[in-house]
Structure 1
Amino acid sequence: MTETRVGLIEFGKAIHDSVTVPGLGELPGGQVSAGRAVRGARARLRRGDRIVEDNLRLGIMVRKKYFSNEVEPVTEAGFLKDVYVAVGRRDLGNGDALELYTDDAVGPDLTRQEGAASVVAPGFDPLTGFFAQVHVREGVLRSGALAALSRGGQPMRVLALAGPHEEWPRGQAGTVLLGFQCDVPPLPGDVLTAFPSPESVEQRAGTAVVHGVSDLGNGSVVAAVEVPEGRAATFTVGVSVRVLRPIGTTFNERHTVVAAGLPVLSLARGGVAVRSSAGSRVFTVGLGTRDLRQNDVLEAYVPGVPMPLAPLAPLAPPPAPPVTLVDVNSAPGESLATLPGLTPPRVATALELRRRQGGFPDVEAFGVAIGLQPHEIVRLRGRATAGRVALPETGVRQLDI
């Protein structure tokens, strides 16, 4: 496997801890402290000296507009820029970091299904990307779950479920947010399959920069290394090490993982063999490789052990989903009032406009006419329809799309 670290977002360093996105809520803010952040990138969550989750996706990324409280979508952000993101976890906080990377690995295990939902009505928003009205037909669908569409594409994360609940049982209908991570945009009739995410925790012991290498001639080297100023690292004999090789410029520096799983064969401080480098910034490391260069970075770690997944019960056959749509061109006021966002004044406005103009060509036009905001119109999808109407001006009959 070849992995390239393309960027790092550290939370707690942005000017604002979070921003509010209409229809979505608060997004946590961080600063790009290395490389670049690119929308859609894979990410792993680093919390202190642990990697607590892998295979996250940078599904939404926005920035605050200059001299304004509004936000705008961005496809990438460079060194020292503040960004606000959604990756499939709601617990990002100060001190956390997202390590952005690319690799040629097959990807996460998608052999065990946790749930499946039918896509009823997909949509797209310029700020938050793709979303879809779905109906859960098997198992459960959770916020943050690994998911894949039946027509292919890379695995992604369910960034959010509309409403107060973090998971939906079989039979539940609602809107899921997928953001900009979709290689294959959702279409009606697609199946969104969710998979369990086993927790695998990797313990990091710190990094050290190589300043000199002595080849021992037997397939191994001794490297003089230094822990970066302001960082802490404790290497021990036997711990695993990755070799990260820097590429790119100062403002777009990336690191390629050229080796992993190398055990530390020996340690020394001041020419004296030791079992641990604790308390020292400068020491020497013995490794069983000859591919080591000046300025390489050694990353010491203890691999995580995946937690076993509990067996899942067989999924029941999908039920026929009952769908009762409110026709905005014929429903009485009491029925219109059951739709999300339809306050009594808006119901009155809808009835008056319908009386004057004969109806609405589609649900979106209905929402705009009565003053709904875009995120409120999205909530009508899957709940409302617009039947045929005769337009007063021409008599042409129009069918709801």
Structure 2
Amino acid sequence: MTEVRVGLIEFGKALNDSVALPGLGELPGGQVSIGRAVRGARARLLRGDRILADNLRLGIMVRKKFFSSDVEPVTDAGFLKDVFVAVGRHDLVKGDALELYTDDVVGPDLSRRESVSQVVAPGYDQVTGFHAQVVVRDGVLRFGSLVSLSRGGQPMRVLGLFGPAGVLEELPAGQQGTVLLGFQCDVAPMAGDGLTAFEEPSHDHLERREGVAVVHGLNDLGNGTVVAAVEVPEGRGSLFTVGTRARVLRPNGTTFNERSTVVGSDLRILSLARDGVAVRTNGGTRTFTVGLAFRDLRQNDTIEAYVPADLVPLAPPPLPAPAAVLLDVNSASGPELARVLSPEQVTKALELRQRQGGFPDVEAFGVAIGLQPHEIVRLRKQATAGRVTFRETGVRQLDI
């Protein structure tokens, strides 16, 4: 099964910003604004139009009891419900969102090992799920690290890291501490299990979401390209540009259990048009047409335009060559004049300049030192005549 988006949690919309769990600290609160929140689902962290992190897991999810400050664990939260979650991040703020999804085909990159630990004593709590006392054998185990158990199961996030003195950010080799895994575990940890942590590339962001549009009409051109009439939903990004990457999502379910399956990805926007006129970008308009090489496109599908962080940007146009510095025949030294004149011409130029104070223009200079007409034309591209006061008349050269 490919990626299926099952829900969206938006932070800052819940009645309470956070709740405190003993021993764990504050859990941020959000509201399920699309679909459902299912404990254990994979998640992406969205901030504005950027995806800051992927392969997070909804490891702990609780809600407040009615008319009480106490909390209770939940496995599923429906549309418009408030929940408090742990995903292995300290930096969730108002305006952030967690895009929840499942994907049995594409998983995280587990090629770079960062640390290896051994489970000494596993444990379980009804509210916070699985935890394990571990000893780090090699490397450094960190809060938020992507980890997996040696006996299998899906990769998980370190939701909490604790030592004798309290909360830790990292646990170096040779040290013992407690790792909180929550309800991510497909396989319950056992004494003797290995817990491997993996290094992830450092990125400012992973992807920029440019625009979203819903298909309302289709025209198959018969050459593998489909032109779709689309409309941008209220409150969604609306920038579409020819050449930008796109994916197609197919909605299913109901308002209270909305889901979308990614049925096409890594496509390219081949064409755009507004009012029948081809354009390079939709210019922020809400209705236009999009051309894609995806013949399975259907009415009510959603087209999502995006730019991966690792996409090499188009090279900017070359800068114009800097203007050549012209030689001033009224102030240049002998060696400088020698770059464009013969030794005899340099000697004559210096003598004439000393005698009369300078030359009114390059043409007069060329004639005075005996240059041929074609040589004067060439010299005009290399030289200029600065302002001077002529000794014979005392009249200053005018800038005309």
What TM-score does the superposition give when structure 1 sets the normalisation length? Answer: 0.75
- Structure 2: distance between partners of 1:256 and 1:109: 22
What does residue 241 of structure 1 align with? 246
Question: For 1:28-107, what aligned pairs fall within 5 Å after superposition?
Answer: 28-107=28-107
What does residue 323 of structure 2 align with? none
Structure 1: which 5+ runs fail to align? Answer: 307-401
The residue type paired with residue 75 of structure 2 is T
How many angstroms does 1:289 deviate by?
Answer: 1.4
- Structure 2: distance between partners of 1:180 and 1:25: 17
2:189 to 186, 190, 204: 186
Question: For 1:147-162, what aligned pairs fall within 5 Å after superposition?
Answer: 147-162=147-162
Contact residue 42 and residue 102 of structure 1 kept, 8 A: yes
1:276 to 252, 264, 281: 281
Structure 2: which 5+ runs fail to align? Answer: 312-400
What are the Cα deviations for residues 281-332 of structure 1, in whole angstroms up to 9, with x where unaligned?
Answer: 11111111111111111100012329xxxxxxxxxxxxxxxxxxxxxxxxxx
Where has structure 1 moved over 3 Å in runs of 4 or more? none
- The total of aligned residue pairs comes to 306
What does residue 219 of structure 1 align with? 224
How many angstroms does 1:29 deviate by?
Answer: 0.6
Query: Secondary structure of the residue that 2:155 maps to in structure 1?
Result: strand
Query: Secondary structure of the residue that 1:111 maps to in structure 2?
Result: coil
Within the alignment, does 1:257 sit opposite 2:262 as a pair? Answer: yes
What does residue 380 of structure 2 align with? none
What does residue 25 of structure 2 align with? 25
Contact residue 112 and residue 200 of structure 2 kept, 8 A: no
Query: Secondary structure of the residue that 2:270 maps to in structure 1?
Result: strand
2:304 to 279, 286, 299: 299
Contact residue 8 and residue 32 of structure 1 kept, 8 A: yes
- Structure 2: distance between partners of 1:297 and 1:208: 6
Query: Secondary structure of the residue that 2:102 maps to in structure 1?
Result: strand
The residue type paired with residue 176 of structure 1 is V
Query: Secondary structure of the residue that 1:152 maps to in structure 2?
Result: coil
Query: Secondary structure of the residue that 2:46 maps to in structure 1?
Result: strand
Contact residue 209 and residue 237 of structure 2 kept, 8 A: no
What does residue 177 of structure 1 align with? 180
Query: Secondary structure of the residue that 2:90 maps to in structure 1?
Result: coil
What does residue 295 of structure 2 align with? 290
Contact residue 42 and residue 57 of structure 2 kept, 8 A: yes
- Structure 2: distance between partners of 1:30 and 1:160: 20
What are the Cα deviations for residues 95-117 of structure 1, in whole angstroms up to 9, with x where unaligned?
Answer: 11111111122411212211111
How many angstroms does 1:190 deviate by?
Answer: 1.1
Query: Secondary structure of the residue that 2:256 maps to in structure 1?
Result: helix
The residue type paired with residue 295 of structure 2 is R
What are the Cα deviations for residues 139-171 of structure 1, in whole angstroms up to 9, with x where unaligned?
Answer: 000000000111111110111112343111111
- Structure 2: distance between partners of 1:106 and 1:210: 26
How many angstroms does 1:3 deviate by?
Answer: 1.0
The residue type paired with residue 269 of structure 1 is R
Identity of aligned residues (%): 73
The residue type paired with residue 299 of structure 2 is Q
Within the alignment, does 1:168 sit opposite 2:166 as a pair? Answer: no
The residue type paired with residue 186 of structure 2 is D
Question: For 1:283-362, what aligned pairs fall within 5 Å after superposition?
Answer: 283-305=288-310
Query: Secondary structure of the residue that 1:251 maps to in structure 2?
Result: helix
- Structure 2: distance between partners of 1:79 and 1:164: 33
How many angstroms does 1:260 deviate by?
Answer: 0.6
- Structure 1: distance between partners of 2:123 and 2:278: 63
What TM-score does the superposition give when structure 2 sets the normalisation length? Answer: 0.75
- Structure 1: distance between partners of 2:106 and 2:285: 39
Within the alignment, does 1:209 sit opposite 2:214 as a pair? Answer: yes
Query: Secondary structure of the residue that 2:269 maps to in structure 1?
Result: strand
The residue type paired with residue 190 of structure 2 is L
How many angstroms does 1:279 deviate by?
Answer: 2.3
